[in-house]
Structure 1
């Protein structure tokens, strides 16, 4: 049902999309075999800068999503609009031999890409990304039980600026280890469109990409942060990606969710190793 509504929306917006995508900002740098960097929810594509600097021999293609870091917001549904436009972008620009690196929500988009256009993708790197966050955060709750119009969402939308800043600060402290990185994550969230922050997250909670994992034959590297859940976090990832055949797990030591901030050197080394093997 989710995909049907996405396709109906995409058909309605076909003319504007074919003239140029609006669900994200694209930054392309360098030349060479392309690497697509997809950030997680709430962050700018700049979050990948340290890792990108380690790959001067590759072209980097980096996204920043609508509603974040100065990119104008779009209508709802938010997530599937990004997913459909991204698939369309890769097709229209005839991008091939692609390595896709996706963090968190970006990992979800990476999975959508490889399911839709597997012949264009050589490697998939999923950075602390769950195909169904709802199963971990809200066990047993069906997607149909979640909606944009909810007391929790209304509370977030009506928060004062100071209360929302405290909320964003608490979120950031759990996502990265460094104080400067925490401030950066908080600032990105505060600068974002509030409705996208609230309703876009609802889109993510409704998402379940576990079905069809067995059809993916592209090599997949799954990087898992060891904080705060340790081995339990790794086991959760193994359960959720059970259907994947050609996969490899690696644990990022001393890292929280934003491991491109906490462990950029290690992440770049693992990415290089995976591309070359």
Structure 2
């Protein structure tokens, strides 16, 4: 009986030691200064594979995939707050210091949340076509109080057939990248997403406004924006939304849509490598 007790205790301690957050999966590789890669909405961590292979220096890389996307099972909604909390806890548990975060779109929003929680652990950030308040851009006349999880639009999206969603995803892909060769990839990410995470998760993002948190972030930040529809149209948005961030530089990619790493890869790699040096 005593032997059984100690064996049970050992198994429990081993399982606890290797337990991972259900809110994300993370692929860790390499050695050196830690660089956390946070993908955009629906995208897996593998979206950063090409970027990592084009880094000039050696880093220890952490590629996150969120619950409900890729091959990671969904978790209870709402899920964004859980993601931000669990990724921040992971950084603390792993005792990561002098951390660089590179975040695309939603990944940039998470980067802001995490850097505000760990201002002394995050040294640099790269925001790739990310904003702290997307609602102001996509729904500027709609108060946050009017954005509801239970809405006719969300109900329609939840109940939409796969064929109908695929058509919608196709239009979205065309709007997110100039590279037609990458459109099926983007469509696949949407189609492989958990439907409730896809619908209600985006509603969560619309409700977020992280602009006040920027004032508490000392990290040196490179903000890379796409010039779609034009540099003159987007530059004021970046300047206004990141006004509270002290240590920043804003650069705009020419002839690019939302996925800058697809549309202008050489420019993107050069800017990231120069900044990380």
For normalisation by structure 2, the TM-score amounts to 0.91
How big is each residue's C-alpha offset from its partner over 1:186-221, in whole Å with a ceiling of 9 and x where there is no partner? 011001111110000000000000113222221111
Partner residue in 2 for 1:31: 31
The number of aligned residues is 261
1:253, distance to aligned residue in structure 2 (A): 1.4
Partner residue in 1 for 2:196: 195
1:185, distance to aligned residue in structure 2 (A): 0.3
Counterpart-to-counterpart distance in 1, 2:119 and 2:221: 12
1:246, distance to aligned residue in structure 2 (A): 0.9
Work out whether residues 226 and 254 of structure 1, in 8 Å CA contact, stay in contact via their aligned partners in 2. yes
Counterpart-to-counterpart distance in 2, 1:116 and 1:49: 27
Work out whether residues 103 and 126 of structure 2, in 8 Å CA contact, stay in contact via their aligned partners in 1. yes
- 1:271 is paired with a residue whose SS is helix
Partner residue in 1 for 2:101: 100
1:135, distance to aligned residue in structure 2 (A): 1.1
How big is each residue's C-alpha offset from its partner over 1:136-193, in whole Å with a ceiling of 9 and x where there is no partner? 1111322222121100100111111111110011111110111221110001100111
How big is each residue's C-alpha offset from its partner over 1:34-59, in whole Å with a ceiling of 9 and x where there is no partner? 11110000111111111110226111
Which structure's CA Rg is the greater one? 2
- 1:118 is paired with a residue whose SS is coil
Pairwise mapping of residues 1-277 of structure 1 onto structure 2 (< 5 A)?
A: 19-55=19-55, 57-276=58-277
| Larger displacement relative to structure 2 (110-119 or 56-65) | 56-65
| Larger displacement relative to structure 2 (172-181 or 137-146) | 137-146
Work out whether residues 119 and 216 of structure 2, in 8 Å CA contact, stay in contact via their aligned partners in 1. no
Work out whether residues 66 and 83 of structure 2, in 8 Å CA contact, stay in contact via their aligned partners in 1. yes
How big is each residue's C-alpha offset from its partner over 1:89-144, in whole Å with a ceiling of 9 and x where there is no partner? 00001111111000010000000111100111110111111111111111132222
Unaligned runs of 5+ in 1: 1-15
Work out whether residues 66 and 72 of structure 1, in 8 Å CA contact, stay in contact via their aligned partners in 2. yes
For normalisation by structure 1, the TM-score amounts to 0.91
Work out whether residues 17 and 85 of structure 1, in 8 Å CA contact, stay in contact via their aligned partners in 2. no
How big is each residue's C-alpha offset from its partner over 1:51-100, in whole Å with a ceiling of 9 and x where there is no partner? 11022611111111111111100001111110000000000011111110
CA RMSD of aligned residues (A): 1.6
1:262, distance to aligned residue in structure 2 (A): 1.5
